A and B are shown apart, each in its own frame.
Chain A
């Protein structure tokens, strides 16, 4: 190992025009946003919604969330995925929490398939925020995948009493399956973050 890692620094409060410009109304194209699929993307169309909460339970309105996921067949749009990627679905989403009146992030996507033998469907997620000097990794699992969740190799490494923090609850009120995933940065119900 010849070189040392470049240190992380907070994304700060002013990332929006650089990283999520279209969402916030700035004149620059976004490389990714909350619309991860399009109308023709194969698979079950779903919505992911959530908030980021600080140690006092206050919503964080200047966080940025990124998600990375497989397509409905569990394939990643990446050359290292030996199953061949789905060129129509990149699987990257990015949303700031500063444009929704309730400071929610929202992703319209497809439900991912299982990406590997024994692995429950999940979405990888990174939290960035002012006040977060290094980014934090977590995963979204799905409440309606109880059987797969029970044998997932990553979930099984999480202490049983904390697993619920990784499981998005489902409502169908909006007509599309909607999974709620609140992220607690601190506190009794602190979300499990991973040393990836």
Chain B
């Protein structure tokens, strides 16, 4: 086993397990571990992970404007989201599975436990997946998700967002995150977003791009994702 270990999770980039703020993310209070993490040396168990390729996704998996259609097109503003998955060393991460899920244009999830009374769109499912190409690039089409209320505090609203799940090259590089949209006034009020250390927050806000925008079809957003990279400093042992 000669695989180089990954750099540690950068806790100046990730939200802490328990939100320390009085007006923070309330449900972390009873769910986040409170004892210090036990550091371990990465072994083959952490340096390996599931392997994916282009045959891992179906034809419509990367097109959320089509994969839930029943009798017409989904409502809302069509978007195309693209970007690169890189590691901390700037290396593209090919063949990385990206799973996405989101609310519809009205801010309603198809999930059975979502009680928000905004309408379900019969032609929008809201889940999909894609795999990065040889240069770490991914791309999917969707509908811009709406904001929705939640119970964290009075009049709490989640900003528009798309959930992302990535594996990367190993179990150690696993990442689940959320992509936000530029200029959203709810970002400043959202305890999940602002639970991220301030210097790192903007990394989750996509850029609008007229170059990515598809004429007469969909607005383009660019969202690059950086996973843990291998430690390039020489080891003493």
A residues sitting closer than 8 Å to B (CB atoms) are 1-19, 21, 24, 26-29, 31-32, 54-56, 58, 60, 62, 66, 68-70, 76-82, 90-92, 98, 115-116, 119, 122, 124, 126, 128-136, 139, 153-154, 157-158, 185-186, 190-196
CB <8 Å contact, B201 and A131:
no
Known contacts A15-B163, A26-B110; A7 and B48 CB within 8 A of each other: no
Known contacts A17-B125, A158-B38; A186 and B165 CB within 8 A of each other: no
The chain A residue with its CB closest to the CB of B165 is A19
| 8 Å CB contact of A3 from B16, B100, B226 | B226
Interface residues of B in 1-54 (CB under 8 A from A): 1, 3, 7-10, 13-17, 19, 25, 27-35, 37-52
Known contacts A4-B200, A7-B201, A16-B111; A195 and B39 CB within 8 A of each other: yes
| 8 Å CB contact of B177 from A8, A18, A91 | A8
User: Which of chain A's residues have a CB closer than 8 A to the CB of B42?
Assistant: 196
Known contacts A18-B100, A196-B46; A11 and B163 CB within 8 A of each other: yes
CB <8 Å contact, B165 and A6:
no
Known contacts A28-B125, A133-B19; A81 and B109 CB within 8 A of each other: no
User: Which of chain A's residues have a CB closer than 8 A to the CB of B35?
Assistant: 190, 192-193
| 8 Å CB contact of B9 from A9, A130, A196 | A196
User: Which of chain B's residues have a CB closer than 8 A to the CB of A153?
Assistant: 41, 43
Q: How far is the CB of A12 from chain B (nearest CB, A)?
A: 6
The chain A residue with its CB closest to the CB of B28 is A131
Known contacts A3-B90, A131-B25, A131-B31; A17 and B110 CB within 8 A of each other: yes
Cβ of B192 within 8 Å of any chain A Cβ, yes or no, is yes
Q: A17-B110, A17-B111, A24-B112 are in contact. List 4 more A-B contacts (CB 8 A).
A: A3-B90, A66-B174, A79-B51, A131-B32
CB <8 Å contact, B33 and A190:
yes
User: Which of chain A's residues have a CB closer than 8 A to the CB of B97?
Assistant: 31
CB <8 Å contact, B127 and A17:
yes
Q: How far is the CB of B192 from chain A (nearest CB, A)?
A: 6
Count, chain B residues at interface, CB 8 A:
87
CB <8 Å contact, B38 and A9:
no
| 8 Å CB contact of B38 from A27, A122, A194 | A194
User: Which of chain B's residues have a CB closer than 8 A to the CB of A136?
Assistant: 17, 33
CB <8 Å contact, B89 and A1:
yes
B residues sitting closer than 8 Å to A (CB atoms) are 1, 3, 7-10, 13-17, 19, 25, 27-35, 37-52, 56, 58, 61, 67, 86-90, 97, 99-101, 103, 109-114, 125-129, 163, 165, 171-172, 174-178, 192-193, 195-197, 200-201, 203-204, 225-229, 232
11 A-B pairs (CB sep. < 8 Å): A1-B232, A5-B226, A7-B201, A7-B204, A9-B15, A14-B163, A62-B113, A80-B44, A124-B45, A186-B31, A193-B38
User: Which of chain A's residues have a CB closer than 8 A to the CB of B48?
Assistant: 68, 76-78, 80-81
CB <8 Å contact, B127 and A135:
no
User: Which of chain A's residues have a CB closer than 8 A to the CB of B58?
Assistant: 29
Q: Roughly how many angstroms separate A56 CA and B126 CA in the complex, as a whole number?
A: 34
Q: Give the most central of A18, A26, A92, A194: most B CB within 10 Å.
A: A18
CB <8 Å contact, A5 and B49:
no
CB <8 Å contact, A116 and B50:
no
Q: Roughly how many angstroms separate A107 CA and B223 CA in the complex, as a whole number?
A: 34
User: Which of chain A's residues have a CB closer than 8 A to the CB of B86?
Assistant: 3
CB <8 Å contact, A6 and B109:
no
CB <8 Å contact, B7 and A1:
yes
User: Which of chain B's residues have a CB closer than 8 A to the CB of A196?
Assistant: 9, 40, 42, 46, 171-172
User: Which of chain B's residues have a CB closer than 8 A to the CB of A194?
Assistant: 37-40
User: Which of chain A's residues have a CB closer than 8 A to the CB of B56?
Assistant: 31
Q: Roughly how many angstroms separate A69 CA and B17 CA in the complex, as a whole number?
A: 25
CB <8 Å contact, A14 and B101:
yes
